[in-house]
A = this chain, B = another copy of it.
Amino acid sequence: MVKRYLSVITLAEALALVERSFPAVPGAVRVPVNAGAVGRITAEPIFARFSVPAIHISAMDGIAVRSADTVGASEQRPVTLPDAARVNTGNIVPPGYDAVIMIEDVWINGETYTVRKPVSPWQHIRPVGEDIGESEMILPRGHRIRPHDAGALANYGVTEVAVRNVRAGLIPTGSELVPAGEMPPPGKVVESNTLMAAAVLAEAGVEAHRYPIVPDDYGLIRDAVRRGVAENDIVLVSAGSSAGTRDYTADVVRELGEVLAHGVAIKPGKPVIIGRIEGKPVVGLPGYPLAAATVLRELVMPLISRYGMPVREPERVAARLTTSLHSDIGTDEFVLLSAGRIGDHWVAVPQSRGAGVQMSAVRANGYMQITAQKEGAEAGETVDVRLTVPRAEAEEAVLVTGSHDPALDYLADLVRPRGVDIHSTHAGSMGGVIALKKQECHAAPMHLLAPDGTYNTHYLERYMPGADLALLCVAERQQGIISRDGLSFDDLPGRAFVNRQKGSGTRMLLDHRLAEHGINPASIPGYEREVTTHLAVALAVRTGEVDAGMGVYSAAKALDLAFVPVATERYELVMHRSMLDDPRIAVLVETVSSEAFRRILRDLGGYETDETGALRELRG
């Protein structure tokens, strides 16, 4: 039997449903001002327990005087004060005294003090209650406590405050899950969704409780949900929300309460359950991490916000989209992006949209929404990017689009602490040329072998005529055949092979060599199967699924595979020459030329570093 979703509702309908189903009734908890109060929201107004100052005190180091005694004092007629009292800043002004004179303005001789000008009453005295009066309201309810608010509260005698509180129970379910720290056997995965959700909720001050993993067993899931509802204000059940054969969440919610919705037209995240048990929201999250994160952000956090918790709004930039995105009418789709500022405009490069590629969120610094009314977004369109990093950090993004090499990751590692955040998009060498031509990246890594045996310049001159370019050599690197058994180029015919995508430099090199060697691609089974990185090639070899592929030495080495060299190619980062003035690019160029980077290349192996850091120019 195939279960189906009850009925899919739109995101707007889901938000309205949540709003009318769960009236905002946030709880409160008392927390010490000096531990855990900062960042929380006051649940009631807070009043000063005493006045500050509680008594007149001196605002200066000096002497306390009776102002009347100084009347008529002048340079010509100094007045020696009979009973002035020495006071430091913060000392009590003795009763009867009504002014303080700064020590710099006093002539001191033993115990006597002389002044040469009169003083106004109350000068340099901080009167009772100057800062705050007893019983005065310090903060209204609904205020987010900042560090200096906490200091002030302590100063005014407040040691504990009532702050809004929401308890969230997070229940991971699934027989395929192992807890973090265990090595998952094949077909099992680490339970990380409740870890991610707890961290998101904690940022909004929610008290998140993670429960142990519950296997796919109806009774156990029911018991866990029942307990979660009893102990929390909201319950999130991770996975089991689809319509597969072992997705029990909806049935459990139906038994204990009611399913308000099953399926929301949101991507990723469609298989979500919105339920209510004992008046409390119980949300079934989809299992894919990106889908779970999207549902959490778009459906759960608005509810948390309405409960009065401080959910921080993302900063935004308007950016030019590099790639057209199709999206279904009726579905709100959220697409992860890398946004970077190129000159004075922002560019947004979509990440992989696969729901299973959690790295997309790690690599991205923002996301965009394609609303249900739209069929997608066009390349070149200005889109509203919500950042997942502070805007100042997004300013550090350097978009690198083209051919990927593991060395780029190490370069990213070297420059990150210097305020440069490399966002690599694996588009292949030709993809890099196109991105560069459209000014959609800062730099394009490439290794395009021309018929005359030169690298890169031939294609750049052809596809970007007139452009002023700079070519920074990363390394001369070896490409070769990756295999388990040390196969060489000529062994390829008849062997199970995995290829790289069309337009990649590696594919062009392969085709060039096949032609040279007179080998027909049709003689290589798997020549049509394309993957997009060197490591993906190596992985396919390592699992035994294929016998060979072509790639760089470091990928073979990382997975302990054999490598037989085929060619050495010039791998260069190409950019518009004007880009050299960008301080982020300057850091990049400097780092590529550094001895530290050369050492890393030598350690990785398969790179010749003589040309590393060499800068060529191509004048248009």
The residues of A with any CB-CB pair to B shorter than 8 Å are 2, 33-34, 38, 45, 49-57, 59, 61, 86, 88-92, 103-104, 108, 121-122, 126-144, 146-152, 154-157, 159, 176, 180-181, 183-184, 186-187, 189-193, 195-200, 202-203, 242-246, 287, 289, 293, 308, 312-313, 315, 354, 356-359, 361-362, 388-390, 392-393, 406, 409-410, 412-413, 416-418, 422, 529, 531, 533, 535-536, 538-540, 543, 545, 558-559
Contacts and interface: CB of A to CB of B under 8 A. Distances in A.
A412 B140 contact: yes
A356 B130 contact: yes
User: Can you list the 5 inter-chain pairs with the closest CB atoms, starting with the nearest?
Assistant: A151-B196, A147-B199, A142-B416, A142-B417, A140-B413
A104 B5 CA distance: 12
Determine which residue in A50, A122, A362, A538 has the highest number of CB atoms from chain B within 10 A of its CB, and name it: A362
A6 B232 CA distance: 59
Contacts of A54: 184, 186
B91 A187 contact: yes
Contacts of A157: 183-184, 190
B33 A195 contact: yes
A329 to B, nearest CB: 20
A192 B131 CA distance: 14
Contact of A186 (B92, B198, B416, B559): B92
11 contacts: A38-B202, A88-B245, A127-B539, A129-B539, A130-B357, A131-B357, A133-B538, A138-B362, A147-B203, A150-B195, A152-B362
Determine which residue in A103, A142, A186 has the highest number of CB atoms from chain B within 10 A of its CB, and name it: A142
Contact of A539 (B51, B156, B184): B51
Determine which residue in A51, A190, A538 has the highest number of CB atoms from chain B within 10 A of its CB, and name it: A190
B192 A152 contact: yes
Given A51-B539, A133-B538, A195 B151 contact: yes
Contacts of A417: 141-142, 308
Contact of A128 (B53, B200, B359, B539): B539
A160 B15 CA distance: 37
Contacts of A356: 53, 59, 126, 130-131
A77 B531 CA distance: 33
Contacts of A151: 192-193, 195-196, 199, 289, 293, 358
A140 B539 contact: no
A101 B387 CA distance: 36
A287 B189 contact: no
Contacts of A190: 154-157
A299 to B, nearest CB: 16
A55 to B, nearest CB: 5
Determine which residue in A146, A147, A356, A422 has the highest number of CB atoms from chain B within 10 A of its CB, and name it: A147
A418 to B, nearest CB: 8
Contacts of A531: 127
Contacts of A50: 183-184
A54 B287 CA distance: 17
B362 A186 contact: no
B287 A90 contact: yes
Contacts of A540: 127-128
Contacts of A543: 55, 128
A411 to B, nearest CB: 9
B138 A359 contact: yes
A90 B176 contact: yes
Contacts of A156: 190
Given A130-B354, A242-B89, A358-B155, A104 B538 contact: no
A105 to B, nearest CB: 11
B122 A529 contact: yes
Determine which residue in A55, A141, A539 has the highest number of CB atoms from chain B within 10 A of its CB, and name it: A539
